[in-house]
Amino acid sequence: MKLRQYTFLILTLIFLSISVSAEDKWLYGHSDNFYFLSNADKSQTRKTILEYETFRAGFLRLHPQYGQVKLHRVFVYIFKSTKSFVKFAPLKDGKPSESLGTFFHDEDQPLIAMRLNAPPGYREKIVYHEYIHFLSLLDQDNRPLWWIEGIAELYSTVELKSDKLEFGGWDENHVRRLQSEVLIPLEDFFAADRQYIQKRNRIYRFYAQSWAFLHYCLLGEGRKYGDSFIEFVERLGLGAEIDPAFKASFQVDYKKLERDLKKHILGGRAYISTLALKDIKVGEIQEMSTPSPAQLDFALGNLLYHSHRIDDALPYLNRALLADPDWPRPYEVLGFIAGRKGEKDSAESFFLKAEELGSTNVQTYHVLASIRSAELGGDKIDSTSSTDSEFLKREIYSRLRRAVWLNPLYFKSYELLVDVFIHSGKRVGPNTLEFLRQGRLIRPRNFDYAAKLALLEIRSKHPENVREALESFLDAKAGKSLREQAVVLLKFSGSEPSTSFEDITEEGIADAEANIGYLFRKGSVPSYDQAIEWFQKSADGDSLLGQTALGLSYLRGEGVPPDTVRALELLRSAAEQDYMPAQNALGQLYFSDKTVTRDYGEALSWMKKAADQEDANAQNSYAWALATCPAIAFRDGSVAVNYAKKAIAQDENPDYLDTLAAAYAESGKFRLAVKTQNTAIDRLPQGTPISDGFL
């Protein structure tokens, strides 16, 4: 559906809806670091925005590294009451939520929506917690979850007094929880991800323990483990495995640190960081006035869109479009809505219109560049590329440069651009290389980007810059796998590591070559043919990882002509050497792939070998095959239940629960099957469509 047709359709909604915005008197404006829309009175609005400005200034005074680059203003919605807030709040169980407030992590301009009648202290803590995530965005690359949530919890306990700010207060709610519950073992705590903390209601205990651990290490009396903590986080950020990184950093065992942490929780004292207001520069309100009809309707429509209330958002957005047809903002959000609905042509038309009107939204240009980059496909564009392909790359480059100019921290545009140039197989000019180097400064711990930049430096005859691109990952603190890949790339450039790594073996080098091949397979524009070159090097070095990767490439015809015989030869060779990924892949191949003759006996034999190596994914695959095999003679519901439970013991993700439900059904335990299936559906990430397999 084209733009004009789509717009005509949704504009008709305007005349079928009644504007609720007229019920309130609104204030619209901006301070140095926030936009705001408020239906509270001027004094309440001013007080709230200045509190946010003061908190921001204080946090950045304590952590100036987060203020080195000016971030875009955050948009704050201030509602005077629950009644006015719920009209625009996200839905919960089909009804508007009466939450204390919410924070939307929009890529271009984050949004805060909060109500003034929330209990004192709670509203601010929630907003400050999320705003710290925004301010520390540059420092979250490869950071563990406990650090990301811990720093937000630690500094959200702030008290704003008449003449000073106090950070790092003692959080009595967290302390009471930790005193009444057993601590999460540190081995599990350090490895925890979102799925882990959502299991068995660990989330509140995890947040409390994250606060306590950072409070103890960074603000506890004496900072006994302060330097060790900083080194530990640095090692993890460079890809080191948790256990060796912990031992090298803390020089104690987990139990000793747990005892010290418990002692701090039971009797520790808060070390307060106090900042006098006269010593910090607080942003000021620059403008506060009545919004225009377009400003009001767009702001409220944009909030509803972010609250996932698209049908409610459309009338507001279209009224804004009618009120000011030359304003790009409504077109931007309508583009996102069309994209979410799967109407790609309409989405592109809206974004093109926004671009024509001078959009300043970074995502406008990134989305259009992404659409064009998809046209490059997976095949190599060599030196004989057509004029059309060259024009396409210039168009992509121009839009991504525009995106980064609008928001220098928008790392996705750097990532897409480096993928486009890696895919091209050609040299890159000095100006483009200099531009791409800025991306590495934004995400210094992102190995994939650093490695791809190093490959472009080598291809463009600048091998002297490879060491600089990979310097962090050549450090002894970096994880072994990343160091191996960094060494391979450095040698590939013609240089040798300045430090000898005794733990790097020929086997490790061969595996590193396969991992570099996977770098070409990843990203927005895969480069399969270049991946094959590295997979072949790795396989020639007797790497089982390389053999498996090369076998799967032959099977799928990625970068090489499809060759099932060669694929089976490579996969079987690795599987017979007890390499679990190859065993699982071979089992899946014989179980359901159309390129070979199905052999359920052979499939289950290889799947069992993989599952018995205690890999959760392999256990789940084996359980699913036993529960659903088309040949009834090969089914075994009780064994399927056993292996599905083993997988879930490692990771309670919805797919594994779905498998357990199928296993229960095959065993005739239908009530348990239904109960487990409902649990699987409940565990799906918010907003995930429920596929037929989950119904």
pLDDT tens-digit readout, 292-344: 999 999 999 999 999 999 999 999 999 999 999 999 999 999 999 999 888 99
3-state secondary structure of 446: coil
Q: Which of left, alpha, beta for 288 (phi over 0: left; psi -120 to 50: alpha)?
A: beta
Residue 419's pLDDT band (boundaries 50, 70, 90)?
very high
Handedness of CA 198, 199, 204, 205 (dihedral sign): negative
Work out the average pLDDT over 245-267. 92
Alpha-carbon Rg for the chain in angstroms: 28
Report the range of poorest mean pLDDT among 260-264, 387-391, 425-429, 431-435: 387-391
What is the pLDDT averaged over residues 230-241? 92
Mean pLDDT in residue range 2-6: 46
Residue 109 corresponds to which tokens in the numbers above? 């301009």
The pLDDT > 70 percentage for the chain reads 89
For the segment 538-565, what is each residue's pLDDT rounded down to a tens digit? 999 999 999 999 999 999 999 999 999 9
The SS3 assignment for 51 reads: helix
Q: Tell which residue, 332, 318, 313, has the closest CA to residue 90.
A: 313
Cα 437 to Cα 238: distance, rounded to the nearest angstrom = 19
Q: Among candidates 350, 315, 309, which has minimal Cα distance to 333?
A: 350
Q: How confident is the model at residue 574 (pLDDT cuts 50, 70, 90)?
A: very high
**What's the rounded mean pLDDT across residues 589-616?**
92
CB within 8 Å of 629: residues ≥ 6 apart: 591, 600, 604, 635
Six-digit token string for 243: 């256990």
19, HSE (Cβ side, Cα atoms, 13 Å): 18
Selected residue with higher pLDDT from 5 and 49: 49
Over residues 161-176, the mean pLDDT reads 85
pTM: 0.83
Residue 487 neighbours by CB distance under 10 Å? 22
Residue 230 has a CB neighbour count (10 Å cut-off) of: 13
Distance in angstroms (rounded) separating the CA atoms of residues 551 and 374: 26
Q: Which residues contact 109 (CB under 8 A, 6 or more apart)?
A: 35, 72, 73, 74, 75, 361
For the cut 60, the answer to whether the pLDDT of residue 161 exceeds it is yes
Tokens (6 digits) for 405? 């100019």
Helix (H) or strand (E) holding 76: strand 74-79
| Sign of the four-CA dihedral 464, 468, 470, 472 | positive
- Per cent of the chain over pLDDT 90 is 54
Give the lowest-confidence range in 116-130, 621-635, 643-657, 665-679. Answer: 116-130
What is the model's pLDDT at position 642? 96
- 9 pLDDT above the threshold of 60: no
Q: Which amino acid is at 228?
A: S
SS3 assignment, position 272: coil
Task: Single out the residue of 460, 457, 510 nearest to residue 485, CA to CA.
Answer: 510
> Across residues 492-497, what is the average pLDDT?
83
CA distance 444 to 472: 8
pLDDT at 260 over 60: yes
Give the number of other CB atoms < 10 A from CB of residue 193: 10
3-state secondary structure string across 310-379: HHHHHHHHHHHHHHCCCCHHHHHHHHHHHHHCCCHHHHHHHHHHHHHCCCCCHHHHHHHHHHHHHCCCCC
Calculate mean pLDDT across residues 224-248: 92
Among 88, 68, 90, 92, which Cα is nearest to 80's?
Answer: 88
Helical segments of 629-667, H only: 637-650, 654-666
The pLDDT mean for the chain works out to: 86
Strand order through the sheet with 74-79: 101-104, 111-115, 74-79, 34-38, 27-31, 285-289
User: Do the beta carbons of residue 48 and residue 311 sit within 8 Å?
Assistant: no
The pLDDT-based confidence of 1 (bands split at 50, 70, 90) is very low
The C-alpha torsion from 172 through 178 and 181 to 187, rounded to 10°, is: 160
CB atoms within 10 A of CB 507: 14
Q: Which of 307-321, 384-398, 423-437 has the lowest mean pLDDT?
A: 384-398
Asked if 127 contacts 114 with a C-beta cutoff of 8 angstroms, the reply is yes
316-352 as b/e, with b when 16 or more CB fall inside 10 Å?
Answer: bbbbbbebbeebbbbbbbbbbbbbeeebeebbbbbbb
pLDDT band at 383 (very low <50, low <70, confident <90, very high): very low
